[in-house]
Amino acid sequence: MFYIIDILGTIAFAISGVLVAIHKKMDLFGILIIAFVTAVGGGTLRDLLIGDTPVSWMKDITYTYIILATAVFAIIFRSKINYLRTSLFLFDTIGIGLYTLVGIEKGLHAELHPIICIALGTMTASFGGVIRDILCNEIPVIFRKEIYATACILGGITYFLLREFPIQNNVVFIIAGIVVIAIRLLAVKYKIALPTIYSEKKR
């Protein structure tokens, strides 16, 4: 189950990276690079922090094949994507939901404190997108007022709360992932945002 979620998260983030790169009118090489760093950036940083080296995508060539295949698929069918912004948002949201759980599980395997596990899950889910946005000359979503990392944190808290009940681990995975995705979707739909220290100037 853990491996499947990791693969699905990789696919979702790779597509997200391809869509951003296409929107920025990058060449083929640029699209592949953005897809790759979006898919594995957060996981790479996580593995380096917990000392799990070589990092996961270097130990398992399957990840590289999947990213390349996903990127090629997204490029070929780019004309079928009528709502680029909506598609990007959807795949990005699915990606953070899946990768949050992957990061938490990695932290648990490393026998870390639950708070640190949630931080690793948030990092895994968010920092691939941060690297993607920086390379594409955008302010990363996580640094703006949108509900992004907060959704990961709440999903992580849900995961550890559910573990206290006699529920199968696979079900806990699914519910916690849905919580992350649902919070992100609802926040955008109803324009829920974190408060900022800035105020608009009155004209």
pLDDT at 203: 47
How far apart CA 59 and CA 53 sit, in angstroms, is 9
pLDDT at 145: 63
**Residues 126, 129, 135, CA angle at the centre, nearest 5°?**
140
Low-confidence ranges of the chain (pLDDT < 70): 1, 81-85, 145-146, 198-203
pLDDT at 85: 60
Q: Which of 67, 73, 42, 44 is nearest to 56 (CA)?
A: 44
Rounding to the nearest 10 degrees, give the CA dihedral for residues 131, 67, 57, 65: -160
CB 153 within 8 A of CB 176: no
Tens-digit pLDDT profile for residues 89-144: 888 888 899 899 999 999 999 999 999 999 999 999 999 989 999 999 988 877 87
